[in-house]
Amino acid sequence: MMEPLSSPPGEISAPAPRVPPAAAVAARPSPRPLFFGLALCLLTLAVYLPVLQHDFVNFDDGLYVTSNKHVQEGLTWRGFVWAWQTNVASNWHPLTMLSHMLDCELYGLKPKGHHLTSLLLHLASVWILFAVLRRMTGAPWRSATVAALFAIHPLHVESVAWIAERKDVLSGLFFVLSLGAWLGTTRRPSWGRYALVLLTFGLGLLAKSMLVTFPCVLLLLDVWPLGRLGAGSLWQKWRPLLVEKIPLFVLAAGMSAITLYTQQQSLARLDAVPLGRRFGNALTSYVFYVAKTFWPTKLAVFYPLPTGVPVAKAAAAGALLVAITVAALLRRRSSPWLAVGWLWFLGMLVPVIGILQVGRQGMADRYTYLPSIGLFLALVWEVAALAARVPRRAAARAATSAATVALLAALALACRAQVSTWKDSKSLFGHAIAVTQGNYLAHLNYGVALAHDGREDEAVAEYIKALTIQPNMVEAQAAYGTALHQQGRYAQALPHLRRALRLRPDDAQLHRTLAIDLEDLGRRDDAIDELEAALEISPRFADAHYGLGSLLEKEGETDDALEHYRKALEINPDLTELYRPTGTLLAARGDLAGAAHYFAEAVRRQPDSAIARYNLAVTLERMGKIEEARGYYVQALQIDPHLAGARQRLMLTGGVPAGPGPP
């Protein structure tokens, strides 16, 4: 609901540029802020609560959580250092990674807890956004309407329901906190308050670098609603506002440099995308975002970068954007919120609009999470201003309120439907296939989800569809080759795995996958070459050390095999199945103490394994530790009474076997 433009009695309103005279009418008393906050939270929960029953998805959730061992260890000092030293998915966002570690510390790999954290962060942002806008404008109903649109707009589902997009909701929280801190600084300036702005803004940048445009948003807010432009020439008006934000611009510039550095590899891969194509896509993406804000249908997790944008289409999009911009600027005195909201929207999208293309997407719903607030501001305040100019104001206010309620109800239903598409990988990518065309990534990930459910033939069909659309998609070639290999069609798998490797020769995992296929084809020497190549690329690739050790052991090169086994376990101690062959090789060369160490670790990690206890017992017996050996023989037989070797060794060492078996 939207009230007239003047502030309600008793509320503080920030100075603002001249507004339409028709807006100067008395306002009705408003409920307390707590009422609005609780109502906004209930509305958000009503829409998003089903997300707590959703699973992880096979799109970046693995990179961030389910396949990330550093994150799965929870909050550790080693993980803390790692978060600051590495980038994930071509982004450096240590605070985001630490938040994922905290979730694993609290919930392990139960998706419900991870979704709960994201939802709580979104709830907090909604409440704080309302509070900040209310304090800035003195207009609680309009502020609540903007916050409600932000809370339940379907475009924002991706940011809230996708665990890998934690960076959106986390940076969003620090963004609105920074707005609040800045408001406090403008009203009661002090070094302490300014330091708080720097702190919250810095934390937001550490969650997602897209916040680099924050100082520019503050300049817009200085115009309206804060009304901080002074008198004099253009330079005299803007100089103090620019100078006070220099530290913020310095932070933004530093993060921009770090982001460009961390993304340089991804940027380099897409040098083949012509600049004209990128500009064309950027212009049409802006129009797409505006259109989807007003009519949020056919939303998908991934929109492929178009192979080309017709010049006429790009020109029309550019002309539309220029026209809207000019119209908003022409009304900057009578309706300043139009220019402020529109420029907020345009400016905040600049880092992700695709001029510097990173990734395969042409656009993404998640990019609108914070920029859309500007559009909501412009829309809500303009509707309120128009309603205030109508002669029959009571009727206009009632009609505006009814329309607002109807709009929010429609958005809530649409948002709830969009939330349901994020239930799991099959739902997510099945929906993407249904609402988009030529979506090779959706076909690939849908196939991966089908394969995970054991529906291999259907998965292969999806891989073929992905490759029909995009033959040079490395992941699809690798997935298709792997599926053929798992079906025992090793020779048919080989060309697809080789093509994937030609497309990405520096991928150690692809070398290992190819090695497995070559080994099954009986080409052991070629497989060894591939694993050695993998280790040249990634010397700490534990699985490659394991595989190479296994091949060398089969070739009789036991010393080299043992070296690779040990290296693999040093890198990844969780390779439980590797302790036994390592201990066996050590025992064969007479290092019984070393063998006992690895067999004991196998027992610790596989407490239900009779074989692990038997191997340790045999080694202890050879070391002369008969009593200890008997104990492990007994334990092995308790787990598996039919383990004949343990029964025989126990009898030979003077023990008394129990349970079934020959006396």
Residue 181 has pLDDT above 90, yes or no: yes
Express each pLDDT in 79-112 by its tens digit: 999 999 988 888 899 999 999 999 999 999 999 9
Would you state the pLDDT for residue 23? 36
Q: Rounded mean pLDDT of 354-369?
A: 85
Residue 4 has pLDDT above 70, yes or no: no
Q: Rounded mean pLDDT of 302-326?
A: 94
Would you state the pLDDT for residue 656? 56
Q: Are strands 303-304 and 361-363 parallel, antiparallel or unpaired?
A: antiparallel
Express each pLDDT in 564-618 by its tens digit: 999 999 999 999 999 999 999 999 999 999 999 999 999 999 999 999 999 999 9
Would you state the pLDDT for residue 107? 97
Would you state the pLDDT for residue 29? 55
The residues, any chain, with a CB within 8 Å of residue 332's CB and separated by 6 or more, are 17, 223, 338, 339
Phi, psi of 505 (to 5 degrees): -70, -15
- Extract the tokens encoding 138: 């003195």
For residue 627, is it left (φ>0), alpha (ψ between -120 and 50) or beta?
A: alpha
Distance, CA of 180 to CA of 296 (rounded, Å): 29
- At residue 18 the predicted structure's pLDDT band, cuts being 50, 70 and 90, is very low
State the average pLDDT for the chain.
90
Express each pLDDT in 540-549 by its tens digit: 999 999 999 9
- Extract the tokens encoding 380: 């809500």
Distance, CA of 456 to CA of 453 (rounded, Å): 8
Q: Rounded mean pLDDT of 58-75?
A: 95
Would you state the pLDDT for residue 173? 98
Residue 662 has pLDDT above 90, yes or no: no
According to CATH, the superfamily of the domain at 578-663 is: Tetratricopeptide repeat domain (1.25.40.10)
Express each pLDDT in 225-264 by its tens digit: 999 988 888 888 899 999 999 999 999 999 999 988 887 7
Residue 143 has pLDDT above 90, yes or no: yes
Distance, CA of 285 to CA of 229 (rounded, Å): 33
Would you state the pLDDT for residue 9? 29
Domain residues of the chain, as ranges? 52-420, 578-663
H/E stretch holding 565 reads helix 558-571
